[in-house]
Amino acid sequence: MDLFNLSYTDFERFLFVLFRVGAFIVFVPFFGSTQFPSRVKTGLILLLSVSLYPLVPEAAIVPPKGLLGLSVMLFSEMLVGFSIAYVMRMIFTAVQIAGTMVDFQMGFGVVNVIDPQTQSQVSITAQFQNIFATFLFLALNGHHLTVHALVESFEMINPQQFAFSASTAEFILQVFAATFVTAIKIAAPVMVILFFISVGLGLVARTVPQMNVFIVAFPLQIGVGLLMVGLTFSFFTVLMKKQIAELPAWVLGLMQTF
């Protein structure tokens, strides 16, 4: 790619690549984190755009009609990048949902911290599990899967080819539903134990009304909850490995609907 001898058509083609890559990197896990330096992120977007530019055949580009047509096409490229990044991010969304459910059951429902990746408030357990999931993501070469998904998007979906169909919406809903199923699987062992503790404390309160159950329940639920979170980390690791291994199939399924 000769940056100093670009024709107007070549520049348009580069813009299509740049907008898809930019939207993808901004929203994808790890690279899209606000903790990831902005300058490094910008450099990565430019580097990937220049590297992936040759994958877009010149014959695949139909010159847009006017600025409005170009804007619509660039927006569609952003949607492609965002959609793929959205599917990959749902793993971490499941972890945050599970952590929030556990913390609510433990009594930490109003105790939140700032997630450095999204700058949003999340529960303590959700943040702890999210950090651990990020380490697993990197250890299992999730960042390689991220770049590979971006390359595949240009091999399967040429610029201006994006079409949001009913099958695309259905697939995204299926991913959304699978996210909640994963969240329940992560949170279930802890929540079941905490549920039985709540039932037991309720029975104690009925049979021994002189006992101040509230004073006992709060530290007991926190202690048992944290203990169960620690004991179920091996299960959490196995489940996360399975979800990360299924990521390529999810991304491929999404791209086939465009």
**Would you say residue 247 lies in a domain?**
yes
Q: Give the ranges where the chain is alpha helix by DSSP (H).
A: 8-27, 38-52, 66-106, 124-139, 142-156, 166-207, 213-231, 233-245, 247-255
- Amino acid type, 231: L
Mean pLDDT to the nearest integer, 83-90: 88
Task: Enter the pTM of the model.
Answer: 0.80
Read off the pLDDT of residues 176-204 as tens digits, 9 standing for 90 and up: 888 899 999 988 888 888 888 888 888 88
**Would you say residue 68 lies in a domain?**
no
Look at residue 258 in the predicted model and tell me its pLDDT. 74
pLDDT band at 60 (very low <50, low <70, confident <90, very high): low
Mean pLDDT to the nearest integer, 10-36: 83
Mean pLDDT to the nearest integer, 235-251: 87
Say which range, 50-59, 86-95, 222-231, has the weakest mean pLDDT. 50-59
**Would you say residue 45 lies in a domain?**
no
pLDDT > 60? residue 52: yes
Distances 198 to 103, 189, 225, 256 between C-alpha atoms, Å: 14, 15, 12, 47
* Tokens standing for residue 214: 């509230």
**Would you say residue 171 lies in a domain?**
yes
CB burial readout 61-77, b (16+ within 10 A) else e: beebeeeeeeeebbebb
Question: What is the enclosing helix (H) or strand (E) of 113?
Answer: strand 112-114
3-class SS string, 121-151: EEEHHHHHHHHHHHHHHHHCCHHHHHHHHHH
Distances 220 to 48, 199, 215, 227 between C-alpha atoms, Å: 51, 13, 9, 10
Question: pLDDT higher for 9 or 75?
Answer: 75
Mean pLDDT to the nearest integer, 219-247: 86
- The domain of 236 spans 81-256
Distance CA 48, CA 3 (A): 14
Mean pLDDT to the nearest integer, 38-48: 87
**Would you say residue 26 lies in a domain?**
no
Please state whether 75 falls in left (phi above 0), alpha (psi between -120 and 50) or beta: alpha
Mean pLDDT to the nearest integer, 96-102: 86
DSSP string for residues in 78-108: HHHHHHHHHHHHHHHHHHHHHHHHHHHHHT-
Q: Average model confidence (pLDDT) for the chain?
A: 81
Number of domains in the chain: 1
> CB atoms < 10 A from the CB of 33, how many?
16
pLDDT band at 167 (very low <50, low <70, confident <90, very high): confident
pLDDT > 60? residue 49: yes
Read off the pLDDT of residues 172-182 as tens digits, 9 standing for 90 and up: 888 888 889 99
Distance CA 21, CA 199 (A): 51
Look at residue 142 in the predicted model and tell me its pLDDT. 83
**Would you say residue 1 lies in a domain?**
no
Look at residue 110 in the predicted model and tell me its pLDDT. 61
